[in-house]
Amino acid sequence: MVTVNINEICFGYSSTKILDNVSVDIDRSSFVSIVGPNGAGKSTLLKCVNKLLEPGSGMIIVDNNNVQEMKRMEVARNVAYVPQSSNRVFPTTVFETVMMGRRPHLGWFSNETDKERVWQILEEMGLDDLALRNFDELSGGQQQKILIARALAQETGVILLDEPTSNLDIWHQLDVMENVRSLVNNKNVTALMVVHDLNMASKYSDRILMMKNGKIVSAGDPASVLTCENIENVYGVEAHVHEHAGIPYVMPLKQVRIAADACLMNQEHEIRT
Amino acid sequence: MLKLFEKISAHNTEQLSSSANEQRSDARDNYQRYVGRKIILIICMFALVIFLGAFFVTIGPLEVSVPEVYKILFSRYFPDMFVTAGLPSQVVWNIRLPRIVAGIMAGFGLGICGCVMQSVLKNPLASPFTLGISSGASFGVAVAAVLGVGIINGPYMLVGNAFLFAMLCSLFIIALSSLKGATSETLILAGIAINYLFSSLTDLFQYFATDEQLRLMVSWGMGDLSAFSWSNFLLLLCVFLFCAPLLYLKANDLNIMVIGDENAKSLGIDANKVRMFCMLLSSLLIATIVCFTGTIAFIGLVAPHMARMVIGSDHKYLFPASGLLGALILISADVTGMNVIRPTIIPTGIMTSLLGVPFFMYLILKRKRKEFW
């Protein structure tokens, strides 16, 4: 069954197109990773899904509702968002941070059931001892887990994650990915994650979308997307793809041409001159 | 021996599992205690404001005994039961009490507005003064004093002009904040620029002013609670009762505003709308306060920081705490200014900074960097 239906989305500023006619269906309780070089439009696509950005044309349907027609609060009850990092001017405690996730369900003030819900989430994720610590004092891995806990507190069917593992060591990368995987398996959550590490995407996701220049180049299960040809075509990198227990692992070897954004800059330069 | 070892290890695991359970309830207990502490702290601050207010009304350049003061106050409501003399009655009822009431309301208002502005602009430097609102009001007063031009004539010309220019400045800042791509740094910079602009304009007016006009402008610019009288009370109270509860209802949204617009939007908060709403209401309250009391710069900036240091960043508690601390600082400073070199009264604005700055410095140096901010 389809939860998120992205239909011919275009997004761009006057001259550059960031998303070019992107269409994709995402099944309920599946873990989908979006990969691709920098500037391919991955984060933009994610932000269109929860209305942080409004696409120029096209339609996004989440659970049979058109996102563009929903109020922001309604979107927040259906789609949660885990940012890459969250820095703040004033300190907030971990409990307060997770409590923010209850906002879409609150009236003026929080009540006991909301607090209970937050405690449950903190305990499930083993974060309850940190409840009174300041968010900023914690390590990157802990912060990321707390942001995931905040998304959980929103009690949505869809969770978007924007490069949640990019600042973490491998232990914490696995920790975050395991957490997301167990949400998908146990809580019927649909996870849509932008991620740079192809091997993490391969190990944990059901499907991978590979993007380049605002288009989806390849979509499917990890084995069909992570091929030598696709990687060379999209990243300009020659790579070996090994298989271990049915999961493809990518080992990059060398660059075979200049990076995609450098390519784009050259094109723009040519157009101007 | 082996059995003993087994026993010990079994005992250990038992202890471990029970301690895990204890830890679970520990975290919740700690949290309950943490929230309880905040509530007690706020109640204490409130009690202290009332107590100090009641105490300060009994001291002043004119010696009036404590029972006499309360006789005077009660005689207003029960005129038959108490008999009071004319002069002390005038002093207590028309000079001391209005000052204290004005001090509490102005301090509270400046504190909460500073707190709200810092949160919606995500900037610890935001305050009515740094955003240029106070200097706008000063300029309004200068126009009224020197040119004799005002939106309303008569005794309220100064107040009316101060209010008008304070609101103009805030509206400019608000308009700027709604522009696309305007960061909170832009706003603070623009505020400081406005501050300079209006200060220079005020200076220009002062340069050409007569002695009498100059005295008026300078004393207003120093911030003085004596301009407040019972006839203004109702107006200030109405604005206060309109703005403060509405702002408090936004406490949850303010908590979220602190983490940035994008995060706020993803949690369902329309960040721009909340910012507009809060800035408009707090500007209205600030303009109303400032036009009666003059420039009292320090409280709006510092009361929220002090409150944050003692009570954390949850606006449900931070909001009242900022207000109460603002009120405490202002009335304490005012009463000190009134009594330190009797019978001369040092303007409130000067005393606030003289007393507040060392206290704030002490808090900054004492606190552990990690715990606050």
- Which among B260, B262, B268 is the nearest to A104, CB-wise? B268
**Would you place residue A270 in the very low, low, confident or very high pLDDT band (cuts 50, 70, 90)?**
low
- With CB atoms and an 8 Å threshold, state whether A72 touches B268: yes
- Helix (H/G/I), strand (E/B), else coil: A20: strand
Looking at CA atoms only, how far is residue B278 from chain A in angstroms? 15
pLDDT in tens, A157-171: 899 999 888 888 899
Distance CA A132, CA A146 (A): 12
Residue B78 has pLDDT above 80, yes or no: no
**Would you place residue B16 in the very low, low, confident or very high pLDDT band (cuts 50, 70, 90)?**
very low
**Would you place residue B14 in the very low, low, confident or very high pLDDT band (cuts 50, 70, 90)?**
very low
Distance CA A208, CA A204 (A): 10
- DSSP single-letter state for residue A135: G
Instruction: Provide φ and ψ at B176, rounded to 5°.
Output: -65, -40
pLDDT in tens, A253-265: 988 876 555 555 5
Helix ranges (H only) for B121-229 are 133-142, 157-178, 184-208, 211-221
Superfamily of domain A2-220: P-loop containing nucleotide triphosphate hydrolases (3.40.50.300)
Residue B104 has pLDDT above 90, yes or no: yes
- With CB atoms and an 8 Å threshold, state whether A96 touches B371: no
Distance CA B264, CA B256 (A): 6
Chain A interface, Cβ < 8 Å to B: 50-52, 72-77, 80-81, 83, 86-93, 95-97, 99-101, 103-104, 106, 108-110, 119, 122-123, 128-129, 131-132, 134, 137, 154
Question: How far is Cα of residue A79 from the mean position of the Cα atoms in its chain?
Answer: 11
Of residues B86 and B264, the one with the higher pLDDT is B264
Nearest CA in chain B to A100: B256
Across A50-68, average pLDDT? 88
Delineate the domains of chain B, giving CATH numbers in brackets: 43-366 (1.10.3470.10)
Q: How far is CA B62 from CA B58, B91, B250, B364, in A?
A: 10, 8, 44, 38
Residue A273 confidence (pLDDT): 47
pLDDT in tens, A120-151: 999 888 888 888 888 888 888 889 899 999 99
pLDDT in tens, A227-244: 998 999 898 898 989 888
Delimit the domains of chain A by residue range. 2-220
Q: Are A28 and A4 in contact (CB under 8 A)?
A: no
Looking at CA atoms only, how far is residue B224 from chain A in angstroms? 32
Residue B372 confidence (pLDDT): 45
The overall average pLDDT reported for chain A is: 86
Residue B98 has pLDDT above 70, yes or no: yes
Residue A1 has pLDDT above 90, yes or no: no
Residue A259 confidence (pLDDT): 57
Task: Say if residue B343 is preceded by a cis peptide, omega within 30 of 0.
Answer: yes
Q: Is the ipTM of this complex over 0.90?
A: no
CB under 8 Å to A201, separation ≥6 — which residues?
A33, A35, A193, A195, A208, A222, A226
What single letter denotes the amino acid at residue B310? V
Query: Percent of chain B having pLDDT more than 70?
Result: 88
Site of tokens 């983490």:
B259
- With CB atoms and an 8 Å threshold, state whether A134 touches B371: yes
Distance CA B34, CA B21 (A): 20
Query: What are the structure tokens assigned to A246, written together?
Result: 């049915």
